[in-house]
Amino acid sequence: MSLKVWIDGKLHDKEDARISVYDHGLLYGDGVFEGLRVYHGRVFELHAHMRRLFDSANAIRLSIPYTAEQLRTAIEETVRVNSFTDCYIRLVVTRGVGYLGLNPNKCAKPSVIIITDTIEMYPQEMYEKGMSTITASVIRNHPNALSPRIKSLNYLNNILAKIEAADAGVPEAIMLNGEGNVSECTADNIFLVRDGIVTTPATHDGILEGITRRVIIRLCHNLSIPISERSVQRHDLYIADECFVTGTGAEVVPVTKIDGRPIGNAQPGPITRKLSEAFHRLVREG
């Protein structure tokens, strides 16, 4: 049976799920999105994702034609018709169909798309042995150009950084901000551990405020692990005892090499393991 995709209130077979070539989401990357996960039939951190979606939409003056409650019902319906108990959800809101010019006011109505599917971010081996990364030459969006806090359909600079990672033969790249401080990876937030203290770049360093990042910060508090949100230099990563990245798709991935330098003893560290286990307990047990 074909997967069903929800578009503007109707379910379509995956093969027939289409939007117009005049949609400004396609023509200009004009829109916002969320990536969510369903674990054991429950959407993880739904409220936080909805909040970020509406915040992103507000920031780009996009008015979502549904309430958060209506979207929740639509998500649950789409998960149910596809008989998923564990899956990834991609929720996309585009500016909608317009003319070939930029003007968003000429787009009649935003389109909402809900895709549910399986996703595999990284091979299992990386969760056990750790991942190698590089720092990219392409910087993260300057907050005064397009705030990285907006989860917009414009991922081109992240994609360029991802290409640099692929060229270097590694799966992920670390992006710096305009000041040269660490911001985040192309689709994940980053954490380091040094002397038992967990540190992650602060919002003002130009990051997407990841939902998984927030959950990890909460777990640090619960487990009495000191946690600090502050500016991080590339050098801080090089001299860290441990490093890991977080995201809805990736969950928690240990990083054991950056720019050719081993991090700590080049093995996933004890605090990374502890947080990763706590995260998995949380998503399994709610």
Nearest to ligand PMP of 107, 200 (CB atom): 200
Q: Where are the alpha helices (DSSP H) in the chain?
A: 24-28, 46-59, 68-81, 124-129, 156-167, 211-222, 234-238, 270-285
User: Of the candidates 27, 87, 193, 208, which one interacts with ligand PMP according to CB under 6 A?
Assistant: 208
Find, among 96, 89, 147, the residue nearest to 118 by Cα: 89
Q: How far is the CB of 258 from ligand PMP (least distance, A)?
A: 17
Contacts (CB under 6 A) with ligand PMP, residues 227-256: 246-249
Q: Is 82 or 248 the residue whose CB approaches ligand PMP more closely?
A: 248
- Return d(Cα 111, Cα 90) in angstroms, integer: 14
Contact between 46 and ligand PMP (CB under 6 A)? no
- Least distance CB 48 / ligand PMP (angstroms): 8
Q: What's the rounded Cα separation, in Å, for the pair 164 and 189? A: 18
Residue 28 CB, shortest distance to ligand PMP, in Å, is 19
> 212 with 220: CB under 8 angstroms?
no
Q: Is 153 in the site for ligand PMP (CB under 6 A)?
A: no
Indicate the residue among 50 and 208 with the shorter CB distance to ligand PMP: 208
- Catalytic residue numbers read 151
Q: Is the CB of 53 or the CB of 240 nearer to ligand PMP?
A: 53
Q: Is residue 213 within the footprint of ligand PMP (CB under 6 A)? A: yes
Closest CB to ligand PMP belongs to which residue?
210
Is 238 or 279 the residue whose CB approaches ligand PMP more closely?
Answer: 279
| Shortest distance in whole angstroms from residue 29 CB to ligand PMP | 14
- The residues facing 246 across adjacent strands are 189, 252
State the binding string over 101-140 for ligand PMP (x if CB under 6 A, else -). Answer: ----------------------------------------
- Tell me which of 35, 110, 130, 206 binds ligand PMP, using CB under 6 A: 35
Alpha-carbon distance values, 52 to 107, 109, 151, 274, 285 (Å): 23, 21, 8, 28, 24
List beta partners, residue 135.
174
Q: Is 211 in the site for ligand PMP (CB under 6 A)?
A: yes
Question: Cβ distance 201 to 184 under 8 Å?
Answer: yes
Q: Supply the Cα-derived Rg of the chain in whole angstroms.
A: 19
Q: What minimum distance in Å lies between the beta carbon of 209 and ligand PMP?
A: 8
Q: How far apart, in Å, are the Cα atoms of 114 and each of 21, 34, 94, 122? A: 18, 10, 12, 23
Single residue of 23, 164, 188, 242 touching ligand PMP by CB under 6 A: 188
The distance of closest approach from Cβ of residue 84 to ligand PMP in the complex, given in angstroms and rounded to an integer, is: 18
DSSP assignment of 111-178: EEEEEEE----S-HHHHHH-EEEEE-SSPPPPTTTS-TTS-BS--HHHHHHHHHHHHTT-SEEEEE-T
Instruction: State which of residues 141, 177, 189, 272 lies at the interface with ligand PMP (CB under 6 A).
Output: 189
